[in-house]
Amino acid sequence: MTFARLDHISDLDTLQRMPAWVTSARAETLEDVAFLSGAALNHLHVVLGRAEVPQALLRDRLALRATEACVTFSGRPERARELRDLLHLLSPGDLPGPAGEIYLSWRRATERTVSVKALGRALPTFEPGQIATWLNTGQGAPVSRAAMVLETVLMETPRAEALALILAEASLAQSLGWKHLIPLLAPGLRRGDLRKQGDDLRLACHRALIASAVETARLAADLTRRAEHVKAVAPKLRAKGAGEAVGMFLARDAVAAAALPLPSRAARRLCDRLVELGAVRELTGRDTFRLYGV
C-alpha cells in the first residue's frame, strides 16, 4: 500500500511538469498565446483529475492567493499572514473588514459547485439575477468568455475587482466543464491588465492562465505529497476526534487549534504532535494565537 502511494506521488511529480514548449515558446500574437494557454489548461485539467490531489485544500490555498491579488489591486497592504488572521481569529460578532470580506468571498466561491446560488452566497450584496446576467455576457471560447465577463463587470462596477474576477473565474470553470471554481486569472493578472479591453484583455488573460496553470500544477503536486504524509502519520494520533481534525487540515489552508473538535488543551497537543511529525506547519511564528496548515 505504501509503495502504491509512492508510485502515485512519483507519477504526479512527473505529470505536474508543464511541457517545456508551453512555457518557453515566445508567442506574441493573440492566436499563438491562445494556443499555448489552451495547452496549459488541458495539462492542468489532467493534473486536477488525479484522485490523490487534495482538491478542497488546493482550492482553499488558491483562494488565499486570489485574495492577495485582489487586495493588492485595491491598494491595501494585507498579505497572506494578515488575511489568515482576519479570517481565523475573528471573535463572534466581529466584522472582518474590507480585506476579510474579499477573502470570505473567494473562499465561499471555491467551496461549492459553481452555480448562481453558490455565487450569490459568496457575493451576498448582488442579486442572483444580476449575477446570472453577468455570467451570460461571455461568448465564444472559454477564455474569451471569461475575459468578456471580466470586462463587462468592471465597466459596470469599476472598483469591484474581486467581484469581476470571481465571476470571470466562474465563467471559465463552467466553460471548461469544471465543477468548482479554480482561481487562476486573479493570481496571474496584473493591476494594469484590469484596465485593458477587447483583444488586449484577452491576451492578458491567456498569458495569466499560462503562468497560473504552471504554478497550480506545481502546487497540486506539492500539496499531494504533504497530504499523503498527513495520512501516513494519522494512525499515530490517539486523541479522540483526531480523525476529524486531520480531515480539517486536509481541506483548509489554515486551522486554529480552537477550531478543532477537541478540548482546547488536547487540540494544542495534537497540533504540536503534527508539527513534530512534520505533517503540518505552524504558519504565524507566534507563541500564541497560532495557525497551522499542511
> Residue 86 falls within a domain, yes or no?
yes
- How far apart CA 156 and CA 135 sit, in angstroms, is 13
**Of the ranges 11-15, 163-167, 284-288, which one carries the lowest mean pLDDT score?**
11-15
Say how many domains are in the chain.
2
Same domain, residue pair 124 and 267: no
Closest-CA residue to 143 (of 179, 175, 116, 115): 175
- Summarised one tens digit per residue, pLDDT across range 227-238 is 999 999 999 998
**R_g of the chain, CA atoms, integer Å:** 20
The pTM (predicted TM-score) of the whole model is 0.94
Residue 1 has pLDDT above 60, yes or no: no
Same domain, residue pair 135 and 66: yes
Asked if residue 204 lies in contact with residue 193, where contact means CB atoms within 8 angstroms, the answer is: yes
Residue 219 has pLDDT above 80, yes or no: yes
Same domain, residue pair 216 and 241: no
45: containing domain: 25-222
> Residue 15 falls within a domain, yes or no?
no
> Residue 14 falls within a domain, yes or no?
no
Cell of 152: 463587462
Same domain, residue pair 108 and 151: yes
Same domain, residue pair 61 and 163: yes
Q: What is the pLDDT of residue 129?
A: 97
Same domain, residue pair 209 and 249: no
Same domain, residue pair 80 and 206: yes
- How far apart CA 70 and CA 79 sit, in angstroms, is 10
Residue 6 has pLDDT above 80, yes or no: no
- Summarised one tens digit per residue, pLDDT across range 137-151 is 988 999 999 999 999
